[in-house]
Amino acid sequence: MLGNVNSKNTLLETILTLNNLTKHYGKVKAVNDLSFTIEKGNVYGILGPNGSGKSTTLGMVLNVVNATSGNFKWFDGTDTTHNALKKVGAIIERPNFYPYMTAAQNLELVCTIKDVDPSKIEEKLEIVHLLDRKDSKFSTFSLGMKQRLAIASALLNDPEILILDEPTNGLDPQGIHQIREIIKNIASGGTTILLASHLLDEVEKVCSHVVIIRKGVKLYAGPVDELNASHGFFELRCERQTELIQVLERHQDFASVKEENGLVTAFLKNPLTAEELNTLLFTQGIVLSHLVKRKESLEEQFLQLTANLN
Q: Binding residues for other proteins, per CB under 8 A?
A: 59, 62-66, 80-83, 85-86, 88, 90, 92, 94, 96-101, 105, 108-110, 112-115, 153
Taking residue 251's Cβ as centre, other Cβ atoms within 10 Å add up to: 16
Q: How far is the CB of 266 from other proteins (least distance, A)?
A: 49
Closest CA to 5 of 211, 184, 228: 184
Say which amino acid occupies 54: K
SS3 215: coil
Q: How far is the CB of 91 from other proteins (least distance, A)?
A: 8
Closest CA to 233 of 188, 277, 283: 277
Per-residue CA distances from 98 to 62, 109, 136 (Å): 20, 10, 12
Q: How far is the CB of 24 from other proteins (least distance, A)?
A: 11
E strands in the chain: 14-25, 28-39, 43-47, 69-74, 88-91, 161-165, 192-197, 209-214, 217-223, 233-238, 254-260, 263-268, 288-294
Residues 69 and 253: beta-carbon distance below 8 Å: no
Distance CA 138, CA 106 (A): 8
Q: Is 79 or 253 the residue whose CB approaches other proteins more closely?
A: 79
Q: Is 110 or 268 the residue whose CB approaches other proteins more closely?
A: 110
Residues 192 and 161: beta-carbon distance below 8 Å: yes
Q: Is 86 or 184 the residue whose CB approaches other proteins more closely?
A: 86
Q: Is 96 or 304 the residue whose CB approaches other proteins more closely?
A: 96
Q: Is 41 or 159 the residue whose CB approaches other proteins more closely?
A: 159
Q: Is 60 or 171 the residue whose CB approaches other proteins more closely?
A: 60
Taking residue 250's Cβ as centre, other Cβ atoms within 10 Å add up to: 8
Q: How far is the CB of 25 from other proteins (least distance, A)?
A: 8
Distance CA 36, CA 19 (A): 7
Q: How far is the CB of 223 from other proteins (least distance, A)?
A: 28
Q: Is 33 or 79 the residue whose CB approaches other proteins more closely?
A: 79
Closest CA to 245 of 233, 232, 256: 256
Q: How far is the CB of 8 from other proteins (least distance, A)?
A: 26
Q: How far is the CB of 97 from other proteins (least distance, A)?
A: 7
Q: How far is the CB of 15 from other proteins (least distance, A)?
A: 15
CA angle 163, 164, 169 (to 5 degrees): 170
